[in-house]
Amino acid sequence: MKRELLKFGVFAILVLLAPLLFSGGYLMNVLVFVGINTMLAIGLNLLLGNAGQISLGHAGFFGMGAYISGILTATYAWNPWFAMPLAAVVVGLLAFLIGFPILKLKGHYLAMATLGLGIIVFIVFNETVDLTGGPSGLSGIPNLTMGSVTFDSDVKNYYLIWGFTLMIVLFAVNLANSRVGRALRAVHDSEVAAKVLGVNTSLLKVQIFTLSAVISSLAGSLYAHTMTFVAPASFGFNFSVELLTMVVIGGLGSVYGSFLGAALLTLLPEFLRAAHDYDIIIYGGLLMLMVMFMPGGLVRGVPDLFRKLFRRGKESGHA
Amino acid sequence: MLEISRITQIFGGVTALEDVSFAVKKGNITGVIGPNGAGKTTLFNIITGIYTQTSGTVFLEGKDISGLPPEKLARKGLVRTFQNIELFGQMTVRENVMVGMHTKSSCGMLSCALKTPWSVSEEHRIREGAVRWLEFAGITDLADVTSGNLPFGKGRLLEIARALAVEPTIMLMDEPAAGLNSQETLALGLLIKQIRDMGITVVLVEHDMELVMDICDRIVVLNLGRKLAEGTPREIQENTEVIAAYLGEDD
Amino acid sequence: MQFDQILQYSLSGLSTGAIYALIGVGFSIIFNATGIINFAQGEFVMLGGMFTLLFLETLKLPLWAAIPCAIVASTVAGLLFERLAIRPLRQATPINLVIITIGGSILIRGLAMLSWGKDTHAIPPFSGDDPIAIAGATILPQHLWILAITVIIVIVNRIYFYHTISGKAMRACAYNRRAAGLVGIDVHRMVLFSFIISSAMGSIAGIIVAPLTMTAYDVGIMLGLKGFCAAIIGGMSSGIATVIGGLLLGVLESLGAGLISSGYKDAIAFIILLLILFIRPQGLFGKAESERV
C-alpha cells in the first residue's frame, strides 16, 4: 500500500512540474489531450483490464458527456459546474440500464453489441441537427471558471485537466487494491468461482460498466469545456478503437499503463505529423504486435524485455 | 441440513438424473460415489445453482433453495470447490482467499475508491481473516505467490481455504482428491475431518474409495442417474448391487 | 404510402440484403470452424472491390478477367491474414482475438488507403444500366446479377458442406472441434480453409455490389458490421437462416430509409442487432441451447 502511495506521489509531482519543463503553448495543448485520454483509458481499463469485459462503444459515452455539457451550457446557458455532474448522472443511468442486457453477453458478442451501441450514439449525434448541430458540430461552449479564474489558456487547462486526471488515477489505484477490485479481477479469472464465493458477478459487471461510462462522460464534459467546440467525428468507432489500443498497449489492468498508452498514442501522431495518414496503419500494426508479442502491455513487457536482455548479456559475458 | 428431493435432470432428451432423493445430516461428511456418468457432477451443479433442474427440489435447513444462483447460496452458507480447481490465476494466493471474504464485507465501489476510514478498517479485517485461513490450510508461506503458478496439490488447498473464508455451514467438494498423490490425499482426509470438526457439513463427490470409506459418515451411491444405495461405509461395501455396478463398469 | 413505392424499396432492399447475406455467411463459416468473430471480415469485401478496380484500371484487364483475379487476390489476403495474425497467437482468449482481428482490419484498411487513396471509385456494371420495369417498380440489371450470384453461391456452399469430404470435415469441426481432431481431421487446415472460403465470399460480395454503391477504402466497416448483423439474425448459421437474415435486414433497412428517415438507415441494423442479442441471442430461427459450464 505504501508503495502505491509513493508511486502516486512521484507521478503527481512529475505531472505538476511538467509545465515548467515543457513550455510552449502547443505542447501544453497536446499534454491536455494526454490528460483527457488518460482518464478515458483508465475508465475503459477498469472494465477491460480488471473485469475482463470489452467495450467498443466508449467513444459514445465520451461523446454523450461532451454533448450534454456542451448543449446545456452553450444553448441553454447553464453553469458548466452543474452541467458536468448532470451529464455524468444521465450517462451513468443509461449505462446502468443498458448494462444489464449487454453484459449478459460474452466475448465476441459483447464486443459487437457495444460496437453497435457506439455507432447508434454516433448516428444520433449526426442526425439530431437541431440539438447537436449535426456533422458540422456545436460551438460556443464556455470555458470553465473558478472564482475569478477562467480556464482559457493552455497552462490553466493543463492544471484543470490534470487535476481531474490525478483524482481519477488515485481513484482507480484505490479501487484496484480493494474488496471490489479483487472481486472484479476474480470475475476476469473465473466467473463461476467468483459466483460460488458469493460475488454477484452480473451486478458487479454492470456497476463497473457504469463507473467506466461515468468517467468517460466526465472526460467528455472537460473536453467540451476546454475545446469550446465539439463535433461527432471525435466520437466515432475509430476513437473507441484508439482507446482500446491505448489500454492494450499500456497494459491491461494497469492504471499507470493506461497513462503510458494514452501518452504514447496522443504524442505519436504529433511527432509523426508528416506521416499523418499513416496513423491508422500504426494503430492497427501496434494492436496486432502487442497482442502477439507483448500481451501484458508496455508496463509488463518492457521490464521483461530488459530482464531478458540483461540476462543474455550476462550469459554471453561469461562465455 | 441439506435435503435433495426427487431431482430429475434432462438434457435435450438424455436423462442425466432421475428421481434422486437423499438427505445430508448436519455435521456429517457425506460421500456421493458412483461410476463415471452416474450424474454426480450434474447433481452438484444443481445443488450449487449452476444448473436448474428439470424437476425436484433442494432444501437447505428446511428452506427451498432450488433455482437460487450460486452467489445467493454462498450468502446462505453453501459453497463448493471444483474438480479442476478454479483459482483466480492472476491473483496472489492471499488475494484469492481475500475474495473468499467477499460476503463477510460490504464496502461499495465508491467507498473503496475514496478509501473511506470504514473501507480501510474493513480491508484490515479482510487481510487478517485471510491470514487465518491460509494458516489453517498450511499455505501461509505461499501467500504472495501468483496462484496460477501453484502446483496442483497446493492449488487444491488454496481452493479449500478460499471456500472456508466464506464461513460456510455446508461445503460441497467435487473430487477433492483428483490429481493428488497418496500423501497429499492422506493430508486432505485429515483436513476434511478438521473442517467437519469445525461444525461445517461436508458433501463430497469422490472416486478415491479408500478416502471415501475412511472419512465419510454416510455414502450415497448413484448409478446411471438413479440412486442405487445409501448407508454407512460398511453397509455400502457389503451391498451387492453396488459391487455389481462397479464391476460392470469396465466393459 | 404507395404499393409500388414499397415494392421499389423492397426490391432494392433485397439486393443489398443479398450482399449482407454473403458477408454474414462468411462470418458464420469462420465462427463455426474456429469460434472467432472475424472483425476484419468487412475488409475482404472492400478488397474485392478495390482489387477489381486495380486489375481493371491499372492493369487494363477486361471485366471478365479482372473479377476472378480480384477474388483470388482477396482470398490470398485472407489466407495470409490467418497465417500471420491468427495462427501465431499464443494466448487465444476471446478478447485477444477481438483485438487482433480489429488490429488486422485497421491495418488492411490503412494499407488500402495508402494504395488507392481516399477517393471513392466507380466500377462499371456487369451488363449495362438500363433499368428494367417490374410491376411499377424499376430495378437495374446489376440487382439481378447480385441476386443470381448470391443464389449460386448459396447452392455451391450447400453442396460443399454436405457433399464433399472437406465440407463435411468442416461441419464436424463446427459441432465439436476436439472430437473432430480426434477422428483425424486436421483442424488447423480447416481453420485456414474457413478463412479462405469466407474471404472469397466476402470479396465476391464486394465485387458485385461495387457497381451500385461505388467503392472506397473504408466501405468494409459498415458492410462487415451489417453482415455480422445478418449472421446474428440467422443464429450464426452458415446456411439458409443467415441468408434470410441478410435479406430481411436489407429490406427492413431499405423500407426504413425510404419511409421513415434516410439519416437513421444505418442505425436500423444496429438496433436490430442489439434487440436480437438481448432477446434472442440464438437467432431468430434457432432453438435455445442450454448453456454449458
Tell me whether residues C293 and B12 touch, CB distance under 8 A: no
Q: Is C197 helix (H, G, I), strand (E, B) or coil?
A: helix
Residues 63-92 of A with CB under 8 A from C: none
Residue C93: all three cell numbers together: 482468449
Q: Which of A108-112, B122-126, C6-10 has the highest mean pLDDT?
A: B122-126
Section C246-264 average pLDDT: 89
**Mean pLDDT computed over every residue of chain A:** 89
For position A319, what pLDDT does the model report? 41
Q: Is the dihedral of CA A194, A200, A202, A204 positive or negative?
A: negative
Please choose, from the candidates B8, B154, B141, B164, the residue with its C-alpha nearest in 3D space to the C-alpha of residue B77: B164
Residues in chain A: 319
Residue C108: all three cell numbers together: 488492411
**Mean pLDDT computed over every residue of chain B:** 90
CATH match of C13-121+141-279 with 1.10.287: no
For position A35, what pLDDT does the model report? 96
- DSSP secondary structure code for residue A277 in this structure: G
Which residues in chain C are contacts of A278 at CB distance < 8 A?
110, 114
Please choose, from the candidates A34, A22, A3, the residue with its C-alpha nearest in 3D space to the C-alpha of residue A269: A34
Res C259 pLDDT > 90 = no
Residue C133: all three cell numbers together: 420495369
All partners of chain C with 3 or more CB pairs under 8 angstroms: A, B
Q: With bands split at pLDDT 50, 70 and 90, how would you rate the model's confidence at A315? A: low
**DSSP assignments along C77-115, one per residue:** HHHHHIIIIITT-SS--HHHHHHHHHHHHHHHHHHHHHH
Residue A282: all three cell numbers together: 500504426
Please choose, from the candidates C254, C149, A192, C93, the residue with its C-alpha nearest in 3D space to the C-alpha of residue B50: A192
> Domains, chain B, ranges and CATH?
1-77+168-251 (3.40.50.300), 90-167 (no CATH)
Res C235 pLDDT > 50 = yes
Kindly report the nearest CA distance between residue A98 and chain B, in angstroms: 19
Give the Cβ contact number of residue A294 at 10 Å: 18
| Rounded Cα–Cα distance for residues A224 and A74 (Å) | 10
A304 forms beta bridges with none
For position C290, what pLDDT does the model report? 35
| Total CB pairs under 8 A between chain A and C | 119
Tell whether A312 is covered by a domain. Answer: no
Q: With bands split at pLDDT 50, 70 and 90, how would you rate the model's confidence at C6? A: confident
For position A25, what pLDDT does the model report? 72
User: Per residue in C45-57, pLDDT tens?
Assistant: 999 999 999 999 8
Q: With bands split at pLDDT 50, 70 and 90, how would you rate the model's confidence at C155? A: very high
Tell me whether residues C290 and B12 touch, CB distance under 8 A: yes
Q: With bands split at pLDDT 50, 70 and 90, how would you rate the model's confidence at B250? A: very low
| Rounded Cα–Cα distance for residues A165 and A172 (Å) | 10
| Rounded Cα–Cα distance for residues C167 and B22 (Å) | 49
Kindly report the nearest CA distance between residue A84 and chain C, in angstroms: 28
Section A55-81 average pLDDT: 95
Residues 167-186 of A with CB under 8 A from C: none
Kindly report the nearest CA distance between residue C191 and chain B, in angstroms: 29
Section B199-213 average pLDDT: 91
Strands B78-81 and B170-174, how do they pair? parallel
Section A167-196 average pLDDT: 93
Specify the amino acid at residue C16.
T
Section C115-136 average pLDDT: 85
A127 touches chain C (CB under 8 A): yes
Q: With bands split at pLDDT 50, 70 and 90, how would you rate the model's confidence at A196? A: very high
Tell me whether residues A111 and C110 touch, CB distance under 8 A: no
Give the Cβ contact number of residue A274 at 10 Å: 7
Res C256 pLDDT > 60 = yes
| Rounded Cα–Cα distance for residues C236 and C246 (Å) | 12
User: Per residue in A11-29, pLDDT tens?
Assistant: 999 988 888 887 777 888 8
Counted domains in chain A: 1
For position B248, what pLDDT does the model report? 63
Nearest CA in chain B to C291: B51
Which residues in chain A are contacts of B90 at CB distance < 8 A?
185, 188-189
Contacts of B241 (CB under 8 A, 6+ apart): B228, B229
Section A249-255 average pLDDT: 90
Q: How many CA atoms lie within 13 A of B109 on its CB side?
A: 14
**Mean pLDDT computed over every residue of chain C:** 87
Kindly report the nearest CA distance between residue C274 and chain A, in angstroms: 6
Domain boundaries, chain C: 13-121+141-279
ipTM: 0.90
| Rounded Cα–Cα distance for residues B23 and B203 (Å) | 11
Tell whether A279 is covered by a domain. Answer: no
Strands B2-11 and B55-60, how do they pair? antiparallel
Section A276-302 average pLDDT: 82
Secondary structure of chain A: what % helix, strand, coil (to 5)? 80, 5, 15
Give the Cβ contact number of residue C162 at 10 Å: 11
Specify the amino acid at residue A207.
Q
Q: With bands split at pLDDT 50, 70 and 90, how would you rate the model's confidence at A1? A: low
Strands B218-223 and B29-33, how do they pair? parallel
Q: Which domain holds residue A67?
A: 2-234
| Rounded Cα–Cα distance for residues B36 and B30 (Å) | 19
Asked if B126 and B98 touch (Cβ cutoff 8 Å), the reply is yes
Asked if A177 and B95 touch (Cβ cutoff 8 Å), the reply is no
Which residues in chain B are contacts of C290 at CB distance < 8 A?
11-12
Q: Which of A261-270, C67-76, C88-97, C261-270 has the highest mean pLDDT?
A: C67-76
| Rounded Cα–Cα distance for residues A223 and C200 (Å) | 43
| Total CB pairs under 8 A between chain A and B | 103
User: Per residue in A127-165, pLDDT tens?
Assistant: 999 999 999 999 999 999 888 888 888 888 999 999 999
CA A51, distance to chain mean position in Å, is: 15
For position A247, what pLDDT does the model report? 93
Helix (H) or strand (E) holding B40: helix B40-47
Section B178-182 average pLDDT: 88
| Rounded Cα–Cα distance for residues C75 and C197 (Å) | 8
For position C280, what pLDDT does the model report? 83
User: Per residue in A255-272, pLDDT tens?
Assistant: 999 999 999 888 887 776
Tell whether A250 is covered by a domain. Answer: no
Q: Considering only the beta carbons, identify the residue of B11, B12, B50 that sits closest to C293.
A: B50
Q: Quote the percentage of chain A above a pLDDT of 70.
A: 95
Segments in A140-190 forming alpha helices (H): 154-176, 179-189
Please choose, from the candidates C109, C94, C75, C102, the residue with its C-alpha nearest in 3D space to the C-alpha of residue C192: C75
